[in-house]
């Protein structure tokens, strides 16, 4: 009998609830300041949040989280994640120490939990975060202004480099592909769900006008289109690539770690922009808001181009072309009402999904025709 695939545990699903709050708080931070410096600061704090979630996911992939000790460890990391989320609105102000200390505590807990499995790999993402980036975030929380930004940016950069630096050692570790692909799908779903929830909550705080109701409907259509691009055409491919990869860590690093960091960051940007325009559906978009909306969509689509190239060495032509169209529409978006801009973007995304559905259908029909033709060819007399 084939070995049963590892399933996501209830403890992991409960743990994910913390990161619903964290994603919401990152969006709130970006909402406060979405000029370029503000976007940079939001990215810098989102990386340790995503790395904490990812480190817990990797630990759960190689350990049995149904054991009491492991569950308690994951819940301890979850509490640290909740403190990080609590600190986020004022992470660059009065709560910097709370953010830095919570991250370091989370990484120390993960290092302790994972040490038995990674004993042969002394330098790994857990030891790097526990002894390098964690202390950097803690020290950053003790200083202020530019010094904090510089230290936290350095820590985020090191965290991003660690998967490359530890590749050789991690190639020795055996990972379960089904569990990993499921976990990262769930995080992307969390981000999409947060965007829908934020749209509804924001709209509920304003008068119910026809323009605002249409705006909510269009925003939901855009969220559905973003979901469709990933879950209808990509999610199963990622799982299959993980299953067949010669070196699993290469796919984990490029597609899951880096790819999903960009996917989820793009969704947060789109969600923040929609939250900005819901109150004023007939006003023109500010340039920074349009950049979040159309630039976030372009980043989301372009990331598929990155992951496709890294896994198959070919271009995701339709998605890259649509990303270019999204960027090309940015100047127009600031000259028309916000509702029209959002509708235009939703139409572009829906058109992409229709085009890809037609391509997939045509490929399937061709494959079926070829499979039907083969038996008749074999049975014909020579």
CB atoms under 10 Å from CB of 14, counted, come to: 13
Q: What is the reported pLDDT for 120?
A: 61
Beta-carbon contacts of residue 208 (< 8 Å; ≥ 6 apart): none
CB atoms under 10 Å from CB of 2, counted, come to: 4
Residue corresponding to tokens 């229709």: 354
pLDDT tens string, the chain, 382 residues long: the values are 345 788 999 999 999 999 999 999 999 999 999 999 999 999 999 999 999 999 999 999 988 999 999 999 999 999 999 999 999 999 999 999 999 999 999 999 999 998 776 666 678 899 999 999 999 999 999 999 999 999 999 999 999 999 888 888 888 788 898 999 999 999 999 999 999 999 999 999 999 999 999 999 999 999 999 999 999 988 889 989 998 888 889 999 999 999 999 999 999 999 999 999 999 999 999 999 999 999 999 999 999 999 999 999 899 999 999 999 999 999 999 999 999 999 999 999 999 999 999 998 888 888 777 777 765 544 433 3
Q: What is the reported pLDDT for 364?
A: 81
Residue corresponding to tokens 């995701």: 316
Check if the beta carbon of residue 140 is closer than 8 Å to that of residue 151.
yes
Supply φ then ψ for residue 172, to 5 degrees.
-80, -15
Q: What is the reported pLDDT for 100?
A: 98
In terms of Cβ atoms closer than 10 Å to its own Cβ (0-12, 13-18, 19+), residue 149 is middle
Domain ranges of the chain: 10-174, 216-373
**319 to each of 294, 316, 356, how far by Cα in Å?**
14, 6, 9
Check if the beta carbon of residue 14 is closer than 8 Å to that of residue 77.
no
Q: What is the reported pLDDT for 377?
A: 46
Q: What is the reported pLDDT for 381?
A: 35
CA distance 289 to 287: 5
Beta-carbon contacts of residue 300 (< 8 Å; ≥ 6 apart): 226, 229, 262, 263, 266, 267, 270, 323
Q: What is the reported pLDDT for 145?
A: 95
**145 to each of 85, 96, 334, how far by Cα in Å?**
20, 10, 33
């Amino acid at each position: 009998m084939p070995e049963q695939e590892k399933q996501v545990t209830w403890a992991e699903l409960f743990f994910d609830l913390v990161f619903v709050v964290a994603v919401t708080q990152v969006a709130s931070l970006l909402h406060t300041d979405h000029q370029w410096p503000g976007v940079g600061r939001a990215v810098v704090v989102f990386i340790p949040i995503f790395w904490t979630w990812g480190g817990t996911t990797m630990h759960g992939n190689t350990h049995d989280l149904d054991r009491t000790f492991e569950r308690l460890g994951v819940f301890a990391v979850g509490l640290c994640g909740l403190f990080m989320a609590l600190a986020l609105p004022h992470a660059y102000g009065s709560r910097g120490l709370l953010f830095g200390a919570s991250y370091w505590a989370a990484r120390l807990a993960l290092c302790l939990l994972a040490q038995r499995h990674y004993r042969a790999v002394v330098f790994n993402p857990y030891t790097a975060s526990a002894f390098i980036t964690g202390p950097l975030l803690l020290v950053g929380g003790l200083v202020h202004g530019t010094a904090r930004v510089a230290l936290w940016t350095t820590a985020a950069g090191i965290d991003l480099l660690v998967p490359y630096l530890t590749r050789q050692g991690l190639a020795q570790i055996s990972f379960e592909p089904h569990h990993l692909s499921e976990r990262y799908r769930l995080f992307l779903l969390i981000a999409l769900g947060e965007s829908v929830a934020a749209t509804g909550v924001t709209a509920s705080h304003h008068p119910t006008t026809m323009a605002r109701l249409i705006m909510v409907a269009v925003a939901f259509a855009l969220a559905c289109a973003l979901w469709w691009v990933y879950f209808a055409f990509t999610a199963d491919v990622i799982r299959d690539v993980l299953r067949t990869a010669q070196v699993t860590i290469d796919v984990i690093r490029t597609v899951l770690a880096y790819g999903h960091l960009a996917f989820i960051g793009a969704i947060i940007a789109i969600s923040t922009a929609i939250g900005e325009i819901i109150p004023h559906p007939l006003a023109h978009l500010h340039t920074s808001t349009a950049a979040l909306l159309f630039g976030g969509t372009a980043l989301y689509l372009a990331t598929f181009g990155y992951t496709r190239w890294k896994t198959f060495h070919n271009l995701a032509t339709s998605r890259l072309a649509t990303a270019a169209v999204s960027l090309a529409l940015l100047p127009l978006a600031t000259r028309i009402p916000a509702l029209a801009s959002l509708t235009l973007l939703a139409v572009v995304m829906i058109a992409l999904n229709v085009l890809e559905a037609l391509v997939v259908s045509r490929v399937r029909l061709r494959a079926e025709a070829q499979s039907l033709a083969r038996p008749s060819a074999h049975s014909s007399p020579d």
